[in-house]
């Protein structure tokens, strides 16, 4: 997958945690989305007042203005018709807030699952994804994976489980800089991630984890 058809879509991620804003941006910017960060409700409302927004991702638990209050105020803003997806670490939050259904269009649980997020964006923005065949990935030399530290394998696998693409690239950079013997293998994994072949990426790491000391 390399993007979607049509004009560039602008999304706001409103979350008081910088790491979560960066995480979402790392997932969506490579696909062509314009991701606008907002650290609190007031910053989000100002964005909605001054430029067109296609969709909002709102954390529920924030100091000051909660995500629910922000969602209600967005319905009275120039961005009233933009879909609103609430984000929470509490899976039962949406069930308890049935009275607020008119304020939001969907709900997603932290840690955000990459593929679930993409499906919700496809649905609410009527997107048509564009796929391409990735370039053939080089096969890693047999000796290199055997010498990769187990903690690195676990970290790469865990990052793949949640679809943290930016985190995977950072970890691969660390491995490559730490030992030149990993260069070909790192290049192989990087090609899989860039081609959004995360299922194959995870299967290869699972095989290595099962044989790692």
Q: What angle do CA 160, 166, 170 make, to 5 degrees?
A: 95
Chain-centroid distance, C-alpha 32: 13
Chain-centroid distance, C-alpha 59: 14
Residue 170: helix, strand or coil by DSSP?
helix
Contact 139, 16 (CB under 8 A): no
User: Residue 87 pairs with which residues in a beta bridge?
Assistant: 59, 108
Instruction: Look up residue 28 and give its two tokens.
Output: 């969506």
Phi and psi dihedrals of 185, rounded to 5?
A: -70, -40
* Residue 125, number of CB atoms within 10 A of its CB: 17
Dist. CA 83–CA 104, nearest whole Å = 7
Name the nearest CA neighbour of 194 among 172, 165, 155, 167: 165
Per-residue model confidence as pLDDT tens digits over 114-169: 888 999 999 999 999 987 655 554 454 434 456 788 888 889 988 888 778 888 98
pLDDT by 10s per residue, the chain, length 213: 788 999 999 999 999 999 889 989 988 998 999 999 999 999 999 999 999 999 999 999 999 999 999 999 999 999 999 999 999 887 666 555 555 667 899 999 888 888 889 999 999 999 999 876 555 544 544 344 567 888 888 899 888 887 788 889 899 999 888 888 888 888 888 888 877 777 788 888 888 877 666
Count of CA atoms in the C-beta half-sphere (13 A) of 24: 29
Dist. CA 56–CA 54, nearest whole Å = 7
Instruction: Look up residue 177 and give its two tokens.
Output: 């800089």
């Amino acid at each position: 997958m390399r993007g979607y058809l049509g004009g560039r879509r602008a999304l706001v991620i409103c979350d008081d945690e910088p790491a979560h804003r960066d995480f979402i941006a790392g997932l969506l910017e490579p696909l062509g989305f314009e991701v606008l960060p907002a650290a609190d409700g007031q910053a989000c409302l100002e964005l909605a007042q001054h430029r067109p927004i296609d969709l909002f991702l709102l954390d529920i638990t924030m100091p000051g203005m909660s995500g629910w209050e922000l969602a209600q105020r967005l319905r009275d803003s120039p961005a009233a018709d933009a879909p609103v997806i609430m984000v929470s670490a509490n899976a039962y939050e949406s069930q308890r807030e049935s009275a607020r259904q008119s304020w939001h269009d969907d709900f997603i649980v932290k840690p955000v699952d990459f593929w679930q997020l993409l499906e919700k964006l496809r649905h609410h923005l009527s997107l048509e994804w564009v796929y391409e065949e990735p370039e053939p990935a080089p096969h890693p030399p047999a000796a290199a994976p055997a010498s990769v530290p187990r903690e690195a394998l676990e970290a790469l696998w865990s990052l793949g489980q949640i679809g943290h693409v930016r985190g995977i690239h950072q970890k691969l950079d660390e491995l490559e800089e730490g030992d030149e013997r990993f260069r070909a293998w790192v290049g192989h994994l990087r090609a899989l991630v860039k081609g959004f072949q995360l299922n194959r990426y995870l299967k290869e790491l699972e095989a290595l984890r099962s044989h790692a000391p």
